[in-house]
Amino acid sequence: MVILETKNLTKHFGGVKAVDDFSVKIEQSKITGIIGPNGSGKTTRINLLSGMLPIDNGTVNISGVELRKIKPYEAYFYGMARLFQTIRLFEQMTVEDNILVILTKRNIFSSLFEKRKKYHLKKAREVLEKIGLSEKRNQLAANLSYGQRKLLEVARVLAADSDILLLDEPFAGLFPEMRKIVSGIIKKLKQEGKTIVLIEHNIDLIRELCDYVIVMDSGKLLAEGEPNKVLENEKVVKAYLGK
């Protein structure tokens, strides 16, 4: 079943088409990888889906709702949560408070007033337990290691409990052991029925995690299909793998 579809999606930056007449379908409860050379339009596409950039042309269909415009705060209400390529935490808030902001679905100050509600605290601690940060819950986010900060970003996405998760390079900069943790979390999310769109450069991780792969090049759709078949495609090998 298709849960997310883009039709003729287009985004210009001056004379450059970062996303060029892009049409794809994302299957529900599957992990779909997006790969391509640097500058191929991967993150721009995620930015369009999450409302971080306005759509110049085309539509996005989410669970049967066709949209020509998406604002950042609306993405949540359409069942989408976004993990950014760069870490975006509230540095001077505790690990637990970073989760509570998401759980209460309000702005920072309103969330802090509600943070002692038993329900929210229970949910926040369940999320932190799931990713292995329970013992760090009272520390400031700024004091975490890079890998722990990345895990906290993942935890914030989990706390949103959205149906569609847009993950932009969740493994970037992580050591092998931390990659295993994040990989395990992503696999568990799939088992729970979540739909995951994953941008990733590591081909081994794409093969391991993804049910379907979309390849972008110069803003266009270059190839799509099962990982092993797509990664053996001559055009993909030439454009992405440089062979």
- 0.75 surpassed by pTM: yes
β pairing state of 212-217 and 220-225: antiparallel
Question: How many whole angstroms separate alpha carbon 207 and alpha carbon 230?
Answer: 10
Burial class (CB in 10 A: 0-12, 13-18, 19+), 166: buried
Residue appearing with tokens 């568990």 = 188
Name the residue among 55, 40, 38, 29 with its Cα closest to residue 197: 29
Both tokens assigned to 72:
């950042």
Pinpoint the alpha helices (H) of the chain.
42-49, 95-103, 108-114, 118-131, 146-160, 176-191, 203-209, 227-231, 234-236
Average pLDDT per consecutive 10 residues, the chain (243 residues; last block may be shorter):
95 90 96 92 92 94 92 86 84 91 64 62 91 93 93 90 93 90 94 96 94 94 94 84 59
Domains along the chain with CATH numbers: 1-79+164-174+194-243 (3.40.50.300), 88-161 (no CATH)
pLDDT of residue 241: 60
Q: How far is CA 226 from CA 1, 44, 182, in A?
A: 16, 23, 22
Question: How many whole angstroms separate alpha carbon 82 and alpha carbon 77?
Answer: 13
The residue type found at 116 is: R
Burial class (CB in 10 A: 0-12, 13-18, 19+), 114: middle
Contact 207, 235 (CB under 8 A): no
pLDDT of residue 94: 94
pLDDT of residue 107: 46
pLDDT of residue 207: 95
